Chain A
Amino acid sequence: MDIVVCIKRVPETAETEIKIDSSGRDIVQEGLVFTINEADNYALEEALLIKERVGGTVTVLTMGPKESDDTLRMGLAKGADTAIRLDDPAFVESDGLVTARILASAMKDMKYDLILTGCMASDDWFSLVGPALAEILGILHATMVTKVELEEGKTRVSRELEGGLLEVLDIQLPAVLTIQTGINEPRYASIMGIAKASKKEVAVKGLGDLGLQESEVGKAGSRTRVEKLTLPVQEKMAELIPGTPDEAAGALSAVLKERGLV
């Protein structure tokens, strides 16, 4: 089974204070730590598990700047066979649908039975590139997948719905599955794997290699655009209790006691 995993390098922001830059359309990147998008890491692990079970190849594919090579190499170190990075100055400011088109153009001359990617990127929160990619390629998709079982020519997947309900469905291969976090336990790369991966080549493809026109990609090709970023203004704000941890804990316990909550 030949599997392509689409991954993205993103800033870790869950535990970090975010600032908006002077353009007002992006965040300040300085000081942020970049890593593989969390859901993509689960997608990569799922691909590696399938390869270990049934054989085949795993290709990691990304669109992004040179720095993304680190993310691809981590994929190689964990067991992916080949890595491809799509990069061109014209790709900057591509929206979700254009990103899907660029990825699709790279897949035209690739062999795949399954394409896996994360169900959502933690930076843009789009959750659309995977299923859009499937439609462009003319194949099936299932999103927010929490279980993958392979059968002859098809896969039975569980999708996560609201309130802890799962939708089970059968879809024909080839297909794009967008993988939900928690589906498996992503491995860490071994020292040996990292050493080997550092010697492997990352293939880089630009606009011309993909047979795309400048007018189809980037800002020119995108029909949606982030006009302005703002920090949310909270409609209400918690009463923040000041002081040292000890003082704050004391004051909070007193409030809870007064309200009969402890």
Chain B
Amino acid sequence: MKEIFVLAEHRQGEMRDVTYELLAGGAKLASKIEGKLTAILLGSGVDSFVNDLKKWADKILVVEDDKLKDFNAEAYQRVIVALWQEHKPSLILIPQSGFGVDLAPSLSVELDLPLMTDCFDIDVKDDSLVATRQMYGGKVNADIRFVEAPGYILTVRPASFSAEEAGLSAEVVHVDSPLTEEIAYRKFVDYVEVAVGEVDITQADIVVGVGRGIKEKENLPIVEELADAMGGVLACSRPIVDAGWLSKDRQVGSSGKTVKPKLYVALGISGAFQHTTGMKGAETIVAVNKDPNAPIFGVADYGIVGDLFKVIPALNEKIRGLRES
């Protein structure tokens, strides 16, 4: 029987949304290959999670151990290797997340299985696995094929599948932890929240986001003026924070804040997944970019293809004009 493993990801006592998405995607794939879907649940005191996942998989393999209370790539790897040896699943799906990227590559080396990361679509065509992922900042999609192997590991990008419960009824199997001693050479210390700054961009009705296209710190004032004219707050994509031009609390995206304003204006932001995941819930999205193929135009409602340094001052002037009239 073909089996698909999905690693359930939880953090600080809460199941992560991506777990349900992967289980939903995994269930579809399992039914296509006439296989079974197994959720892998590692942790300590995870009874409530077992209940949460019951309708989402055919089986839940539960490994409880104090040493698995917080995610630890090293401990997780040892446990999953033991489960692999017992079950030999055809496919292991792991979230493309802070935890997943720390685990999947070394796991694939130890198990000697092919790995593809950051997949957003998975299919089986002519009996072989095809994964689709993005390259070059989301500007290109790549179909990936695999050489035949005893199994495959894929990490899957959040929001690739919609979290629809498959209505299954899982058999719950408790497995003894293979961990014998504390893993001293890799120790979890703590979680730390990034400090909240002077503005809370998640509370604003209008958010004006600026990205790499602004080129120099010296050019930021024209964006600030526009945000001001629109009565919005200034936000940004990752490169602006990396460069130290704006503080981390203004960053929109997967490693920053998620905003759902009435209006989001993306200026010189190409629209890689890491950014759009934090703003695509806005009611109206406007984008200005010089690349007509920039992925941002796929999430925007209105777009202007053009030079930021001409469009922003023009917008500023028109909007100030409207507000004064």
Chain A interface (Cβ < 8 Å from any Cβ of B): 11, 13-18, 20, 27, 42, 96-97, 100, 119, 122-132, 134-136, 140-144, 156, 158-172, 181-182, 185, 222-232, 234-241, 245-246, 248-250, 252-257, 259, 261-262
**Stretch among B31-39, B41-49, B143-151 lining the A interface:** B143-151
Report the nearest A residue to B323, measured CB to CB.
A262
In the complex, the answer to whether A140 meets B186 with C-beta atoms within 8 Å is yes
B141 on the interface (CB 8 Å rule)? yes
B199 at the interface (CB under 8 A from A): no
Least CB separation from A39: chain B residue: B242
- Among B115-154, those with CB < 8 Å from A are 115-118, 130, 133-147, 149
B244 within 8 A of A: yes
User: For residue B311, which residue of chain A has the nearest CB?
Assistant: A245
Contact A128 B142 (CB under 8 A): no
Measured between beta carbons, the chain A residues less than 8 angstroms from B143 are: 226-230
Q: Which residues of B contact A232 (CB under 8 A)?
A: 134, 138-141, 295, 298
Q: CA of A250 to CA of B184 in the docked complex: distance in angstroms?
A: 63
Check if B106 sits within 8 Å of A248, measured CB to CB: no
B317 and chain A: residue at smallest CB distance: A249
- Given the interface pairs A97-B114, A245-B310, the reply to whether A231 lies near B191 with Cβ below 8 Å is no
How many angstroms from the CA of A248 to the CA of B311 in the assembled complex? 8
- Known contacts A235-B298, A262-B323; A132/B213 CB under 8 A: no
Q: Which of B134, B194, B297 contacts A165 (CB 8 A)?
A: B194
Please determine whether A135 and B106 come into contact, CB atoms closer than 8 angstroms: yes
CA distance A43 to B243 in the complex (A): 15
Binary contact track B285-325/A, C-beta < 8 Å → 1, others 0: 11100111101011111111111001100110111011100
Residues on the B chain within 8 Å of A262, using CB: 206, 230-231, 263, 319, 322-323
B182 → A minimal CB distance (Å): 12
8 Å CB interface, B276-292 against A: 284-287, 290-292
Partner of A253, one of B136, B293, B297, B318: B318
Q: Which residues of B contact A226 (CB under 8 A)?
A: 142-144
A-B complex: 5 closest residue pairs judged by Cβ atoms? A234-B298, A182-B242, A161-B98, A249-B314, A238-B303
Interface band, chain B: 35 or more
Q: How many Å from the CB of B285 to the closest CB on chain A? A: 8
Describe B's contact surface by its main secondary structure: mixed
- In the assembled complex, which residues on chain A have CB atoms less than 8 Å from the CB atom of B295? 232, 234
What CA separation (Å) do A245 and B284 show in the bound complex?
21
- Contacts A164-B193, A238-B303 given: A249-B318 contact, CB under 8 Å? yes
Give every chain A residue within 8 A of B193 (Cβ-Cβ).
164-166
Beta-carbon nearest neighbor of B309 in chain A? A245
The answer to whether A97 and B263 have CB atoms under 8 Å apart is: no
- Bound state CA distance, A122 and B134, in angstroms? 11
Docked CA distance A35–B147 (Å): 32
**Interface pick from B58-66, B165-173, B253-261:** B253-261
Which one of B149, B311, B314 contacts A223 once the chains associate, using CB atoms below 8 Å?
A: B149
Q: Say yes or no: A17-B318 contact (C-beta < 8 A), given A167-B98, A168-B192, A225-B144.
A: no
Asked if A249 and B311 make an inter-chain contact with CB atoms under 8 angstroms apart, the answer reads yes
B318: A residues at CB distance < 8 A: 249-250, 252-253
CA of A56 to CA of B129 in the docked complex: distance in angstroms?
47
Q: Let me know if A161 and B311 touch, CB within 8 A.
A: no
Contact yes or no, A253 B322, CB < 8 A: yes
B264 to chain A, nearest CB (A): 10
Known contacts A127-B117, A240-B303, A241-B302; decide if A144 and B101 are in contact (CB<8 Å): yes
Q: Is B133 touching A125 in the complex (CB atoms < 8 A)?
A: yes
User: What is the distance, in angstroms, from A35's C-beta to the closest C-beta of chain B?
Assistant: 14
Contacts A/B (CB < 8 Å), 26 sampled: A13-B137, A14-B212, A15-B270, A96-B115, A129-B105, A132-B106, A135-B106, A135-B109, A140-B186, A141-B102, A161-B191, A162-B98, A169-B186, A181-B238, A224-B147, A225-B147, A226-B144, A232-B134, A232-B138, A232-B140, A237-B297, A238-B285, A238-B302, A241-B303, A252-B286, A252-B318
